[in-house]
Chain A
Amino acid sequence: AQTVTQSQPEMSVQEAETVTLSCTYDTSENNYYLFWYKQPPSRQMILVIRQEAYKQQNATENRFSVNFQKAAKSFSLKISDSQLGDTAMYFCAFTQGNTGNQFYFGTGTSLTVIP
């Protein structure tokens, strides 16, 4: 069974500062993918970043980057130069590689960016 754990229910960060959200997962699969989704008050889940487990290089999307530690089963999200629009619920998610048809979500981290 796959499990995804986010140990920080709530976090806050000053505007323009950097924040890191933690995520750990447990799986016996070798081929899998990890995602971070953002859910602002508008409710829509928005894909932030995606990491393929077989790639050692950490994924980066503009101000968002991940620290993927496969042996430790850790997948943290770093947000640089935080902006007010980054205020949202952030969910870490796991899916199997070749046959995955659903996500396993973590419990979420509520991030508030303070002006």
Chain B
Amino acid sequence: DTEVTQTPKHLVMGMTNKKSLKCEQHMGHRAMYWYKQKAKKPPELMFVYSYEKLSINESVPSRFSPECPNSSLLNLHLHALQPEDSALYLCASSQAPGRVANYGYTFGSGTRLTVV
């Protein structure tokens, strides 16, 4: 299995809703990432997990809450989002923390989030 699987593919939520995005990989990768991408813009790093521990939080608002229950699964919990949070949310994994250069990332296909 050489994929990163993200669910759901599309999500529409109201500003008072609570929802979660899910990311799963079974490649034995020990670093996982959340990126936010606006249309025709590069991905922006949100969070990095290394060996299931949060190692980088790029000053993301607390309405985004990441969780890494095990080495294969990464969640992003969403609460009280704003319309400007509408974007493509990409998950990625790499074989080892600090070794992105050797192996690069494997990306998922993303979740297209619309906040209404």
CB within 8 Å of B: which residues of A?
32-33, 35, 42-47, 50, 52, 89, 91, 95-103, 105-108, 110
- Which of B42, B97, B99, B104 makes the CB contact (< 8 A) with A105? B42
Chain B contact residue count (CB 8 A cutoff): 28
Interface residue B31 (Cβ < 8 Å from any Cβ of A): yes
Supplied contacts A101-B100, A103-B43, 5 more A-B pairs, CB within 8 Å? A33-B101, A45-B107, A50-B104, A52-B101, A106-B42
Q: How many pairs of residues, A versus B, come closer than 8 Å at their CB atoms?
A: 65
The answer to whether B42 and A101 have CB atoms under 8 Å apart is no
The answer to whether A110 and B40 have CB atoms under 8 Å apart is yes
The answer to whether B40 and A89 have CB atoms under 8 Å apart is yes
From known contacts A100-B100, A102-B56, infer whether A45 and B40 are also in contact, taking CB-CB under 8 Å. no
The answer to whether A100 and B109 have CB atoms under 8 Å apart is no
The answer to whether B41 and A101 have CB atoms under 8 Å apart is no
Interface residues as binary, B87-116 with A (CB distance below 8 Å gives 1, 0 otherwise)? 010101010011111101101111010000
Q: How far is the CB of A40 from chain B (nearest CB, A)?
A: 10
The answer to whether A101 and B97 have CB atoms under 8 Å apart is yes
